[in-house]
Structure formats: structure tokens, C-alpha cells
Amino acid sequence: MNALHIAAKDLVILFRDKGVVMQLLGLPLIFILVFSGAMQTAVGGSHDTRLPLAVVDEDGGPRAQVLREGVEAAGGVRIELKAGAVAAEALDKGELARALFVPAGFSSDLDAGRQVMLRLVSRPDADVPRTEAMRMVIEGVARDMALEGQILTSLRQMGEMMATVPDAFTMLAVERGPAQAREQFELSRTRPLVTLVTRVPMRAVTVEEQASAAQLAVPSFSVLFVFLTSQATARSIYDEKKVGSFRRVLASPVSKGELLVGKMLPNVAASLIQVIVIFGFGLLVLPLLGQAPLSLGNAPFAVVLVGILIAVCSSSLGILIAALARTENQIGGLSAVILWAMGVLGGSFIPVFFLERFLGPSMRVVPHYWANSAFTDLLVRGAGLSDVMPQMVALLIFTAAFFAVGLWRFDFD
């Protein structure tokens, strides 16, 4: 109970400090706004929520163009033309989730009523519902195109027949028309033009599902600023020691454990408020500003759990900083530098799936990596709670380690 009294008092003090509130809430929102805006501009200007689809057009004819336009007109898909080699390499590297290959002779074969094959190549770790949605769109457009061609062909054949028969056989030709159309419909069903091929990549690199800037910026800056909040715990402890209120509280019937928990709880609460405000900003405000909205993925509960874990881990880190830092400068300056460096190393500025290729396993020494990795899996890849268990366990280990070392080195006097 005493821990709650201490926490309540600290929260009041914390939120009376306008500078701290700016750092807790204002700064992350500014970072997200600037970062996601810049990213979005860099990847294509104004906000476009359609799923990108790479198309390798080896035909280049009018039918292939009709196909591309038809797929885009169906809505929800944005065509990006790529050369065959480029698309294949991007698929291998995991930079592309899927690509549609339009073969040479597509237009002429279609005009001639010959069967053609489109290849939708999808990586096995690509988002299945999205691949399926794209397949259905492509199949629908292709079927319409095939049907159109086949009907035109049959009408042409019938016209040729009628031109040569006597008037007495006209009725026969009229009866023959519906039957001919039914045959063509049946043919279009039994001779599908689109075949979905799943291609296994050369190496197992995680695929980034063309995440929006918001999906990258919101969680990563949440992680960065939640861990920066650990300074608030350290500073609060330092300030109490400096003015002597720490001694006064220790002289009261408050145990050392209650005192430390009481100093941690406000940071947990402030960090959770940070996460809620930042994610709320991503969900509600960014779309109003013309930017891509944030998606919470398929497991919002897991997102909440990871948010709570990073808040607790940050508070625990605050205890460690308070235990190790001897001066105000060490808390305000040195720890800030270290925390920013940890943020850079842990993927808060550059997405983990890019940075990992450069830094490799060394990223794993900072809790930021595990938090960013968990958020990336949940928000971008649509992973579930069980998928991010390793990251959550890692965050728990960091929390316990920070607290244990902090407690060991803590000077209560």
C-alpha cells in the first residue's frame, strides 16, 4: 500500500513538470510525425493504402495492359512494374512478398483463343490472406478477359457460318447461338488462365510485408521513448536523495522494497500512458493527417502485453541507472547518450529486419531489439502471441537482470 502512496505522489510530481510531459508525450509524437511523413514521401508521395503487387510484363501487348489496368481497377492493389531479373532477386532476398509474371505472347495467344499461363509467385512466408486476395482479383480479371476473347471468337465463327448457309437454316443458327455461348463459358472455367506457383526462396530471410511508415515508426519510437523514460525513475530517486526526502521516507514504516516498487510504478504508469498515446496517435491521428494508419495486426492482446513488458523493463532499467549513476550529469547526460545508443542499436531508428543484416546478432544485447522485434512480428507480419514468446521471455530476463543488479548496487543512504 505504501508503494502506491509513493507512486501516486511521484505521478503528481511527474506530470506537473511540463518539460517531462513534453519529453514523455510530445517528443515521440513529433518524431513519429516527421519520420513516418518522410518515409511515406520517400516511398511514393501521398498516402496509398493499396497493397503493392510487382508485375513482370514480358508480353508488353495490349492484353497485358488490359490485365494490369483491370487488376488496379478492381481496387485494393497497386501495380508496380518490374523487370524479371529484378523481381526474381527481390523475391529471393525477401524484399518482395509476391510478383505476377505475364509471359511473352500473352496478348496474341489470348486473341487467338489459346490457353495462356500467368504465374503469381509468392514466398511461403508471405501473408497468406493477402496473397489469396490478390490471386482472386487476378483470376477474376483474367477470367473476364478470357471469356471476352472466347465469346468474340465464337461469335466470329458463327458469323462466318451464317454467311455461307441458305436462309432455310437461319433458325438453326439462332438455336445454335446460346449453346455456343454455354460451351465458351464452360471452356473458360475448365481452362484457367492463372496458376498460382509458390516459390521457395534461396535463403530464409524474413519478408517485410511492405509495411507502412506508421507501422514502422509508431512501435519503434514507442520503444525508444519508453526506455528513455527510465531516466525519470533515476532522476526521481536522485532528487529525493538530494533533498533528503529519501532518508525521511526510509525513517518511516516503509520497507526498502516498498520504496523501490513505489519509485518504479510511476514509470510503469507513465510508460503505459506513453504507449497508449503514441499508438492512439498512429491509429487515429495519422490518417487524419493524410498518412497511412497503424494496424494492430492479428493479436492486439499480444501488443498490449509487449507494451506492458517494455514499461516494466524500462522501470527496472531506471533502478539500475539510479544505482550506478553518482551525479546528476550521469543521469541526465550519460544515461541519455547510452539510451539513445541502445535505441539505435536495437532498431528504433532503422527497422530491425534491415539493421539485422548489417549488425547481426549483436543487436540482441539490448532490450530495444527484442521489443522492436516483437512489435514488428505482431504489427507488420501479423504474428500471434505464441510467435513472440521468445521476445517476451527475453524482455523478462532483461527486466529481472536490471532489477537484480540495481538492487545489488543500490545505495539507500
Task: Give residues in contact with another protein (CB under 8 A).
Answer: 2, 5-6, 9, 12-13, 16-17, 243-245, 247-255, 412-413
Residue closer to another protein, measured from CB, 69 or 328: 328
Q: Shortest approach of another protein to residue 312 CB, angstroms?
A: 24
CA-to-CA distance for 284 and 279, rounded, in angstroms? 8
Q: Shortest approach of another protein to residue 239 CB, angstroms?
A: 9
Residue closer to another protein, measured from CB, 257 or 280: 257
Residue closer to another protein, measured from CB, 195 or 245: 245
Q: Shortest approach of another protein to residue 277 CB, angstroms?
A: 22
Buried b (16+ CB within 10 A) or exposed e, 278-298: bbebbeebbeeeebbbbbbbb
Q: Which three cell numbers stand for residue 382?
A: 501479423
Closest CA to 321 of 336, 335, 337: 335
Residue closer to another protein, measured from CB, 139 or 239: 239
Crossing angle between the packed helical segments 213-228 and 230-243, to the nearest 10 degrees: 20
Q: Shortest approach of another protein to residue 255 CB, angstroms?
A: 8
Residue closer to another protein, measured from CB, 24 or 275: 24
Q: What is the arrangement of strands in the sheet containing 194-198, beginning at the earlier edge strand? A: 77-81, 51-57, 98-102, 118-122, 194-198
Q: Shortest approach of another protein to residue 242 CB, angstroms?
A: 9
For residues 270 and 11, is the Cβ–Cβ distance under 8 A?
A: yes
Residue closer to another protein, measured from CB, 243 or 341: 243
Q: Which three cell numbers stand for residue 272?
A: 503505459
For residues 48 and 293, is the Cβ–Cβ distance under 8 A?
A: no
CA-to-CA distance for 402 and 305, rounded, in angstroms? 19
For residues 11 and 266, is the Cβ–Cβ distance under 8 A?
A: yes
Q: Shortest approach of another protein to residue 19 CB, angstroms?
A: 12
